[in-house]
Amino acid sequence: MNINIITLFPEIFEALNYGLLGQAIDREDIKINILDLREYQINKHGQVDDKPYGGGEGMVLMAEPLEKSLKDIPLDVLGKVINLSPQGKLLNHEKAKEFSSLTSITIISGRYEGIDERFISQYVDEEISIGDFVLSGGEFAALSLIDSLSRFIPGVIGNKISVEQDSLSQGILKGPVFTRPENFNSELVPEVLLSGDHKKIQEWKDNQALERTFKRRPELLKSAKLTKKQKKLLEELASKDIL
């Protein structure tokens, strides 16, 4: 997959060089192309932003440098142009999976008070938000987007089953997990996990996942595809009013 990133702060993306994602980049499972917006300045003063028309606080990234940087990307690796913005659709598990199926994407990392609306209307295919909060710049949102979609690209995560069992992969949260020691500050690992009975263990995990979702993220259950058994358990949880 080709990922182009247009940014004022290329150094932030050095974080991509670590962990499984860094290994995937080394293998060229993912190819990262970073364009420094300051190299596409409109004058000798290095200008890439200006005051907003009509007044207001802060500065706005200008359309011209953004356009110049975008046109510097070969068309065959440009792909879908994504602007990271609070006005965008909320990034979720399914959207990350959808992006991972593309051969190329180009991410615009905005700054300040945003970018000129004319660039958005003429060049941006989709706007994405990573949550209902404000960041100092789109770079951190871009890192989140890249990391989330990369997990679906074959070869990035060695254990495919791990990806399939992640929180939200089935529409609900993942249940609690434990490791050694069996006794930590007088709190024991649930006995069923030590039983060796794989059927009972899986049933316990499924029940815990559903209960945790019911307690912490009940809104997810509205769109989750539940089995008859899960629906029955959900009814039991609701009747106990364990929230």
Give the three-state DSSP class for 82: strand
* One domain for residues 138 and 215: no
pLDDT in tens, the chain (243 residues): 999 999 999 999 999 999 999 999 999 999 999 999 999 999 888 899 999 999 988 999 999 999 999 999 999 999 999 999 999 999 999 999 999 999 999 999 999 889 999 999 999 999 999 999 989 999 999 999 999 999 999 889 865 555 555 556 678 999 999 999 999 999 999 999 999 999 999 999 999 999 999 999 999 999 898 989 999 999 998 888 654
Half-sphere exposure of 155 (CA within 13 A, CB side): 10
Rounded to two decimals, the pTM is 0.87
Catalytic residues: 86, 113, 151, 166
Q: Return the SS3 of 18.
A: coil
Same structural domain for residues 47 and 132?
yes
- Range of the structural domain that residue 69 is part of: 2-150
On whether residue 174 sits in a domain, the answer given is: no
- Tell me, yes or no, whether 128 and 20 share the same domain: yes
| Coil/strand/helix, residue 223 | coil
Q: What is the tally of structural domains in the chain?
A: 2
Assign residue 173 a region: left if phi > 0, alpha if psi is -120 to 50, beta otherwise?
beta
Q: Which residues contact 76 (CB under 8 A, 6 or more apart)?
A: 104
229 in the same domain as 119: no
Q: Are 145 and 187 within one domain? A: no
Both 204 and 99 in one domain: the answer is: no
Same structural domain, 144 and 192: no
